[in-house]
Structures are given as C-alpha cells and as structure tokens.
Amino acid sequence: MPFLSLNAVDRIYYETIEDRSDYPVLVFLHEGLGCREMWKDFPARLCRITGCPGLIYDRLGHGKSSEATSPRTIHYIHEHALNELPLVLRKTIPDRPYILVGHSDGGTISLIHGAERPAHLVGIITEAAHIFVESVTLAGIRKAKEAFRRGHMAGLYTYHGEKTESIFTAWSDTWLSDWFSTWNIEYLLPSVLCPIMVIQGINDHYGTKRQVETIVSGVSGFADPVFIESCGHSPHLDQPEVVANKMSVFIDQLISRIW
C-alpha cells in the first residue's frame, strides 16, 4: 500500500491513476465522512474519459490513513486545505498542473486552497460544497447522528474500522456546536481566480442552492453552476454518468485553453 509520511507519526494513504503524463492530474478530495474507497469507481471513470491521471488520498483520520489525535477547531477545514493538501501535492505530484475535484468538505477544501492561488492549480470542481452553515445542514446532521446511534450507518466501519466512531463524532459534534455556527468562508471567494464548476444535487439534504449561488457570484474567475436532477448529496454516486459527462466537458475546456 502506498503511504506518505506527514511527520514521524502520521501517515497518509494514497492511490494514483496513470494516464497521459502531459495532462493535469485530477486530485479527488473526499467528503467529511469519506475516504478513497467511498469514491467507488468514479475517479477511474473520470480519468478514463478525460485522459487525465488521478490522485486520491485519505485525509488524516480517515480510511487507511493514521488516526487524527488533535481536537477539531473552527479552522479544521483550513488546516486540510492549507497544510495537509499542499504537503500531499509536494510529495506526490511536485510541480505538476492539477485540477481539484472535491466532494462536500472536499469541495470546501478546494475553495480554500484555490483562494491561495497556487501556481499549478488549473481549475476546481466542487460537489455539494459548503461555505456557511445552514439550518438544513444541521437538520441533516442531526438525522445522521440519530441514524448512527441506531446502527443504521454501520457500513462506515467497513471503510474506517476502529476510527469510525471518532470520525463520526468529530464531524457531527463540530458542525452542531455553537462555536461553529458562525463558520463562513465567503470572505475568501474573491481570491479564487481559476475556473470553477459548482455542482449540487437538487435533493441535497445538507445544503440549499444558496451555497451554489453564493460561490458562483463570489469568485472572481469563471464559474459554472450545475444542478443535477434526481440527486442528493453525492452527485457522483447518485448520477455518475451525468456527472462524469459534465465534469469531462469542463475539464476538456480547461485542457484546450492551456495545452
């Protein structure tokens, strides 16, 4: 199994998908309860359609990566975007152009990272990204918390093993805490200059279309809003063919502008 060391203790699990070496690397960033395996075959599908190589990894505390030991703060997503992600990129695809494909928390990480205007970032695709806390988000998390308590989300143990409870608790307790209620990253959107596609399912139970509309109107570069019918919080799983086709068109446009 391929791992990279963040420090003397923490290791990140990652996988690569090989394809055209002259094309940008698609870097897939999973959701708040996710990991590499929960993407299923979507990364391979998208890489095959576009001809782009891929990079997928488990963030610290998730999947096969080391367990997170520090408590989360209001800046936990920033830490993933500004510390962990750049380190992973430097150690796996140094000086190579890349496109971020982020789902939920992964989409938010993509936006925060993009606001730093990295030299090799070509574009961003977000799915169900959050930039502020909504009441519908909290209601969805409360339902998930009850479902987890009743054992209805036991499938997560398949992916995270003994880390499952700590991952779920960290995620749910953070978002439901009073101190997180004011979390908001609208302020950094004008710093996102690269082209971006903003995807959300019409039936997303964790966010409204305000998330998409605010991102699109807030960024400084080109932004394409995409709403997927008959789709919830995971567009790439609910409507994989539709989503892969839309993403591939956007990626092809990015490539044609630069290559």
Q: For residue range 59-90, what is the model confidence (pLDDT) as tens digits?
A: 999 999 999 988 999 999 999 999 999 999 99
Select from 98, 84, 128 the least CA-distant residue to 27: 98
CB distance 58 to 12 below 8 Å? yes
Question: What does the buried/exposed string (b/e) look like for 170-198 if buried means 16 or more CB atoms within 10 Å of the residue's CB?
Answer: bbbebbeeeebeebebeebbeebebbbbb
Give DSSP secondary structure letters for 69-124: -SPP-TTHHHHIIIIIHHHHHHHHSTT--EEEEEETHHHHHHHHHHTT--TTEEEE
What number is the average pLDDT over the span 175-199? 98
Whether pLDDT at 122 is above 80 = yes
Select from 196, 202, 194, 195 the least CA-distant residue to 242: 202
What number is the average pLDDT over the span 214-225? 98
The per-residue pLDDT for 7 is 83
Select from 34, 9, 20 the least CA-distant residue to 233: 34
Helices and strands counted in the chain (H then E):
10, 8
Task: Calculate the average pLDDT of the chain.
Answer: 96
CB distance 176 to 206 below 8 Å? no
What number is the average pLDDT over the span 30-49? 97
CATH number for 230: 3.40.50.1820
**Alpha-helix residue ranges (DSSP H) falling in 97-197:** 105-114, 135-149, 156-160, 164-176
Query: Which range is least confidently modeled, 40-44, 108-112, 253-257?
Result: 253-257
Integer Cα distance of 88 and 55 in angstroms:
10
The per-residue pLDDT for 19 is 87
Question: Between vectors from CA 168 to CA 163 and to CA 171, what angle results, nearest 5°?
Answer: 125
Cβ–Cβ contacts within 10 Å for residue 50, how many?
24
In sequence order, what are the beta bridge partners of 17?
A: 54
Question: Two tokens at 19?
Answer: 């394809």
Number of domains in the chain: 1
Whether pLDDT at 259 is above 80 = no
Cβ–Cβ contacts within 10 Å for residue 55, how many?
22
Is the whole-model pTM more than 0.85? yes
Using a pLDDT cut of 70, give the percent of the chain over it. Answer: 99
Place of tokens 């962990």: 84
The per-residue pLDDT for 55 is 98
Place of tokens 């080109």: 222
Whether pLDDT at 214 is above 80 = yes
Give me the domain span that covers residue 96.
3-65+73-258
What number is the average pLDDT over the span 127-147? 97
The per-residue pLDDT for 20 is 86
Select from 31, 66, 90 the least CA-distant residue to 234: 31
